[in-house]
Amino acid sequence: MTTTTPAAPARPGAGAVLPPLRIGPITVDTPVVLAPMAGVTNAAFRRLCRESGAGLYVAEMLTSRALVERSPESFRIISFAPDEVPRSVQVYGVDPATVGAAVRMLVEEDLADHVDLNFGCPVPKVTRRGGGAVLPWKRDLFSAIVHAAVDAARPSGVPVTVKMRKGIDEEHLTYVEAGLTAQDAGVAAVALHGRTAADYYSGTADWDAIATLKEAVTDIPVLGNGDIWSAEDALAMVAHTGCDGVVVGRGCQGRPWLFADLAAAFAGSDVRIRPGLGEVAQVVRRHAELMVEHFGDESKALREMRKHMAWYLKGYVVGGEARAALGLVSSMADLDDRLAALDLTQPYPGEAAEGQRGRAGSPKRPILPYGWLDSRELSEEFRRDLHEAELSVSGG
């Protein structure tokens, strides 16, 4: 982690836990993927993660429609630093033609080296349109979208992957069938979040489901996602499921140095980053600088930083007033003043800083299009409505 005290040299371990992850022509030496998270995994945060460790870092999700329509926001989302290789983009859509056009645009205009398809988002604004985690229920639609993306990317040799959940709920599981369909369509890898759309982020991720998918899908890598809060969790998931790599989402929020821990763990080392509050403050300051550079607007950048403060400060003795003030910073000068007022001599607090980031929430009944569960096939009525179902904004 370049912004904190350098870690001690890694002590030799038992050797690499897994071989490098191969996604089509792309080799990822440390088999770790940063999950796209709306409002989090922008170029600034990805750079912090890349400076800390190794892996594949995916940009925020964007809609196929927004990309095809060349919205300025979609191009901001897929802005990559010159040294950010491979450039990884996640696309969401419910219309095969629009998804295919978006992927074709990405590869023909050399805007991405890897395209991931989102079938895992559980938020209502996506599922009510039949998208995200509920889309694989319509097996013909799922197949058509995946084939359209793979066919569009194939001439340029850009690999396409799929990220999904177990299904809509425990009575409507789709992940094994979807994984096999994706494999047959020619995707380079599949990733499974071990929760249903109804689970949202609650409870415990079902690692047994990841193991089941790994047993079924044998020709391409299977990646596991869900409840990886530490390097030890990643190793435990691999041991439990046999997966070929892991996808890390909320576990790295406020902890970009987690990727240093993951790189060490997968190399067989027990070295871990344990920053004191002074080191954390340096990372926060660096993050804010990169956000200003990314947005080109100090006020907007600092507003975007606010959500990160609670994640960075988890477990440290800061006090409610200071936490609230840091959650309202509006300028770099304000941030510097607030950070300087903290007791920056505090050591790493241990277990208090570990574990879940943010709120898990509770299970939620997925909001579905009317009649969505009546059939596994797409009705003509739904087919006609597809062109209106694409959201014109990114996120989720």
Nearest residue to 116 via CA among 195, 34, 20: 34
User: Alpha-carbon distance 240 to 261, whole Å?
Assistant: 19
Packing angle between helix 298-313 and helix 332-340, nearest 10 degrees? Answer: 30
Structure-block tokens of residue 210: 């990841």
User: Alpha-carbon distance 11 to 16, whole Å?
Assistant: 13
Please pick, among 49, 121, 243, 252, the residue that the annotation labels catalytic.
121
CB atoms < 10 A from the CB of 272, how many? 18
Cα dihedral 239, 244, 250, 254 sign: positive
Q: Is 243 one of the annotated active-site residues of the chain? A: no
Spell out the residues 6+ positions from residue 345 whose beta carbon is closer than 8 angstroms to its own.
276, 277, 278
Backbone angles phi, psi at 163, to 5 degrees: -115, 130
Packing angle between helix 258-266 and helix 43-52, nearest 10 degrees? Answer: 40
Omega within 30 of 0 (cis) for the link into 256 = no
Nearest residue to 243 via CA among 204, 206, 201, 213: 213
Nearest residue to 122 via CA among 112, 109, 131, 110: 131
Side chain identity at 17, as an amino acid letter? Answer: V
Spell out the residues 6+ positions from residue 396 whose beta carbon is closer than 8 angstroms to its own.
38, 61, 92, 118, 121, 123, 125, 126, 132
Q: Which helix (H) or strand (E) holds 237?
A: helix 231-241
In terms of Cβ atoms closer than 10 Å to its own Cβ (0-12, 13-18, 19+), residue 174 is buried
| CB-CB contact of 385 with 371 (8 Å) | no
| CB-CB contact of 394 with 73 (8 Å) | yes
Catalytic residue IDs: 121
